[in-house]
Structure 1
Amino acid sequence: MLSEHADEVLAIFRAGIEGGNATFETAVPSWAGFSAGKLPGHRFVARDAGRVLGWVALSPTSTRAVYRGVVELSVYVHPGAQGRGVGRALLGAVIDSSERAGLWTLRAGIFPENTASLRLHEAFGFRRVGVHERVGRHDFGGQSRWRDVVLLERRSAVV
């Protein structure tokens, strides 16, 4: 994922916001703000015919040294590319990069209504470790409601 992909990556993020089941975010950040929170070497796009179909990135969960191998995963697929293996390719790439870098735990937080994302993560060895019930209010579609978040993690078998 490079700055040349910014417009398409942010458009896919916007689609996730507008879909209502991908994030608590309500506005698309600037590229600089978006990119600053993502780890170099662990951010990828999937492309077909030069068009970005999806992206994945890892973000640190803490600045404390003890958690240096624990990261949060985000994966987004363009609505028109869903169901075509894009998410699988992206998760495979970022898991490979994470293990080469010595990262031992990948975490994800997913709305329970996002069943496709839950199934995708579980297919790659993520396990449900809990649910944050009513963890945040989600302002979406002119309404505000409490949302649960399913917590998943994948522990490396090699690190």
Structure 2
Amino acid sequence: MDAHSAEAPPALTARDATAEDWPRIRDIYAAGIEPGDATFESAPPPTWEAFAARKEFVLVACESGAGSRVLGWAGAARVSAREVYRGVVEHSLYVDPGAGGRGVGTFLMAALLEESRNRGIWTVQATVFPENAPSLALHRKFGFREVGRRERIALMGHGPLAGTWRDTVLLELRL
């Protein structure tokens, strides 16, 4: 296992994402966006460069072996350009719907937190729709705590809930 691996389920590895991974990352992200319970974004960015420019780092979880197909990705972005917040990131984590139930989300979260610690990050936060029970459960499994709820924070622009004002739950984990 490489430096990003953390108690991998059999046949999974984690590594830094590259531009070559963009088609899979984009497709996994688009699949996560479609149902409307993952993000306010209506589509992935148009290019790897636009995507990567928003992130401090991006990891991918891959099947081990010859194919090493990307099954999910996790990325972290600084919450502020101010120096005092240099160790605070907001993360995203998406798993290929076809890889559900294989521990990919748990594996990616562990790898994301390990990489965050290695980079001197002291707080990882997430903004989750309260209806996204699997995401809330994953975060709680890793010790994230709810620090607030933002009511009617933004108007949903896509998916089945387009035109609906949505709440979000703010979660954080101190490393």
Q: The TM-score by the shorter chain falls in which range?
A: over 0.9
> Shift in Å at residue 46 of structure 1?
0.8
Amino acid at match of 2:72: G
Amino acid at match of 1:16: G
Number of aligned positions between the proteins: 154
> Shift in Å at residue 35 of structure 1?
1.0
Amino acid at match of 1:144: G
Amino acid at match of 1:107: Q
Give the match's secondary structure for 2:49: helix
Contact 2:58/2:75 (8 A) holds in 1: yes
Calculate the TM-score normalised by the size of structure 1: 0.93
- The one of 55, 65, 81 aligned to 1:38: 55
> Shift in Å at residue 63 of structure 1?
0.6
- The one of 2, 6, 10 aligned to 2:26: 10
* In 1: Cα distance, 2:159 partner to 2:79 partner: 29
* In 2: Cα distance, 1:69 partner to 1:58 partner: 11
101-110 vs 26-35, which deviates more? Answer: 26-35
Q: What are the ranges of 5 or more consecutive residues in structure 2 without an aligned counterpart?
A: 1-16
> Shift in Å at residue 33 of structure 1?
0.9
After superposition, the CA RMSD in angstroms is 1.1
Superposed structure 1 runs of 4+ greater than 6 Å apart? none
Structure with a larger share of its residues in helix: 1
For the pair 1:127 / 2:145, whether they are aligned, the reply is: yes
Calculate the TM-score normalised by the size of structure 2: 0.85
Q: What are the ranges of 5 or more consecutive residues in structure 1 without an aligned counterpart?
A: none
Amino acid at match of 2:116: S
* In 2: Cα distance, 1:19 partner to 1:53 partner: 18
> What residue in structure 1 maps to residue 44 of structure 2?
28
Contact 2:52/2:58 (8 A) holds in 1: no
Amino acid at match of 1:28: P
Give the match's secondary structure for 2:81: coil
